[in-house]
Chain A
């Protein structure tokens, strides 16, 4: 049974979002990391990149799989977690501590289409 944290928003493609003002902190859920197995690489965007809701912004890689990351919101990449470049295992260790990018949102109303923990629990089984 994977961990789901209250107070975060979730996408159908298993990203989580923590909202701090107009800043969205984005990672992948515990369910997603468990599905992937040992993560060997996190493909990150660059700071300053424009991202759009539903668009790919990177990928997770394991030995025998690759999974695209989809951005839950639109905006500008404000920060990327460079620590993951050398230590992708941090995503496996604690998916909610290992944020991947921070996005300055251009349209916070997009958050409304995301799920809360209870709704996400129904699809992450």
Chain B
């Protein structure tokens, strides 16, 4: 990776351009409206959009449009240079916990463009192929999760959570059960859970984890009552542990009249092993960009389809949470992934991901602090170094960048102060895992012998640690020529 300091605006020169527009047959069209649109009026300084500028009620833009003026080669070279300061799954190992950074197959990219020309409001009879993709995915995801139906409108995991909670509220409201305004969320939950609940107008009640990292059923019991809309569970949870009391939890929550929400961010290890529908969940979302291999794109577009059990089927497509049919292009990619894996291979994904996580955990627990000794699922959490010597989790994460790996998720979950959350996925080879383990051991050794090198890391990246404090105190959020 090489530091490159330009912004596109700094390449701009007045009068340069990169566009290519067809201006054919202008003579014919120029006659429209009594021939008022002569060449000069279109492109000249007194064009059609300036006609009313003198009027107070002018509807045309008066401010100059400050976009870069660059050529096509400028653009290609600039963004190619930018890309070279980026690290992706195709660059190297990306053990980012709870993000399931698995390999993104290339055939999936190729088939998407086949649908590019379809307008979202075209009549059903002209989009049978696109509808067939959605129908296939509805059935496929239902088969994999044990839910009845899926809506594809949500564009991301958090968006799916929100949609699922809307369905829970809709269910209670339809029964006249309007007092159910509280939702239970474990203290180990993803930050999006309570945030989605708040957006959905629900009050969050936190249920504690036991020392073994699982939801404390005894702490849960007194929370249940006629004001509880439901519970949001992540299973396996963010510590990578399977909530083995789920049967009792489901029974207790259902008994009090609440519903169970399944946060599908951690679905990957259950592929081929457990179906959320069978565990008693009423509604769930999947992250197609995690479990079903669609690329993360630097933070979207994703897709967060929401599945429902029988009792929510009457409501499942009611909340209109996005503009058209959801992120259709992402759904197509996930569809290609399911077809490629087929029923034979998809059931191997979960166990192989789980195997990789346990392999790393067991290989490093003599240098990193493992707060909960247990077989994990797809991910696990270390609470920093066994012998930190002043070295923090942030230092370890930054040093990993020097060695050509992405960092794990850090400082989450909040249950531990020095959390390092590692998720390797099933698409990494034993050689890659061994190389990562080797580097993690080297870092532990450096911590003992030369902690300074860790405090100053990273050293080999395009930039070093930035000054985030002044970025937040005096925000500079857009370019302005100096």
Q: Which residues of A contact B (CB under 8 A)?
A: 38, 40-41, 61-64, 88-89
Contacts and interface: CB of A to CB of B under 8 A. Distances in A.
A89 B411 contact: no
B411 A41 contact: no
A109 to B, nearest CB: 31
B411 A88 contact: no
Contacts of B469: 38, 40, 62-63
Interface string B263-286: 000000000000000000000000
Given A63-B472, A88-B473, 14 more contacts: A38-B469, A40-B469, A40-B472, A40-B473, A41-B472, A41-B473, A61-B472, A62-B469, A62-B472, A63-B468, A63-B469, A63-B471, A64-B411, A89-B473
Contacts of A38: 469
16 contacts: A38-B469, A40-B469, A40-B472, A40-B473, A41-B472, A41-B473, A61-B472, A62-B469, A62-B472, A63-B468, A63-B469, A63-B471, A63-B472, A64-B411, A88-B473, A89-B473
Contacts of B411: 64
Contacts of A88: 473
Nearest to A40: B472
Interface of B: 411, 468-469, 471-473
A42 to B, nearest CB: 11
Contacts of A62: 469, 472
A62 B472 CA distance: 8
Contacts of A40: 469, 472-473
A70 B469 CA distance: 24
A89 B470 CA distance: 10
Contacts of B472: 40-41, 61-63
Contacts of A63: 468-469, 471-472
B469 to A, nearest CB: 4
Those 9 A-B pairs whose CB atoms lie nearest each other, nearest first = A40-B472, A38-B469, A63-B468, A40-B473, A63-B472, A63-B469, A40-B469, A88-B473, A41-B472
Contacts of A64: 411
B477 to A, nearest CB: 14
A65 to B, nearest CB: 10
A104 B393 CA distance: 45
Contacts of A89: 473
B204 to A, nearest CB: 15
Contacts of B468: 63
Nearest to B468: A63
B236 to A, nearest CB: 26
Contacts of B471: 63
A64 to B, nearest CB: 7
**Residue in B411, B471, B472 with the greatest tally of chain A CB atoms within 10 Å:** B472
A38 B427 CA distance: 40
Nearest to B469: A38
A92 to B, nearest CB: 10
A41 B475 CA distance: 11
A40 B475 CA distance: 10
A62 B469 CA distance: 7
Nearest to A37: B469
A64 B469 CA distance: 10
B411 to A, nearest CB: 7
